[in-house]
Amino acid sequence: MPARFELKKTETGKFMFNLIAGNGEIILTSQGYADKAGAMNGIQSVKAHAMKFDNFEQKVASNAQPYFTLNASNGQVIGKSEMYSSNSAMKNGIDSVMRNAAKAEIVEID
């Protein structure tokens, strides 16, 4: 199955998306957006910024698990990864976003 963006409305009425890899794993999650148009702009921003490694910021959570964010040119966070068990697993996640985001289709989830 090809990678895809799953766009959905949350229980609080906001819109958000996940980038799902071909294996079904969530590799990037967005913030909540006030409306669908904002979430669609967020998806386009991921597609535009995921090609450049410098847009990824590697971080460590308070529980010492690595994760990353994808940032826009202005430094704003576009999406955040899950927590990973190791730095190498996190780097594989970054590689997956870089490989998959540009060609991922958008699927609306009810």
Spans of the chain, pLDDT less than 50: none
Q: What are the tokens at 43?
A: 């998806």
pLDDT at 23: 92
pLDDT tens-digit map of 9-38 = 999 999 999 999 999 999 999 999 999 999
As a residue count, the chain comes to: 110
Domains and CATH numbers, the chain: 4-109 (2.30.29.80)
pLDDT at 1: 79
pLDDT at 82: 95
Give the Cα separation of 80 and 102 in Å (integer).
17
DSSP track, 70-87:
EE-TTS-EEEE----SSH
pLDDT at 77: 96
pLDDT at 94: 97
pTM, to two decimals: 0.93
pLDDT at 110: 82
Percent above pLDDT 90 for the chain: 97
Q: What are the tokens at 8?
A: 């959905």
Give the Cα separation of 23 and 25 in Å (integer).
6
pLDDT at 109: 93
* In contact, 56 and 68? CB cutoff 8 Å: yes
The DSSP bridge pattern shows strands 15-20 and 4-9 to be antiparallel
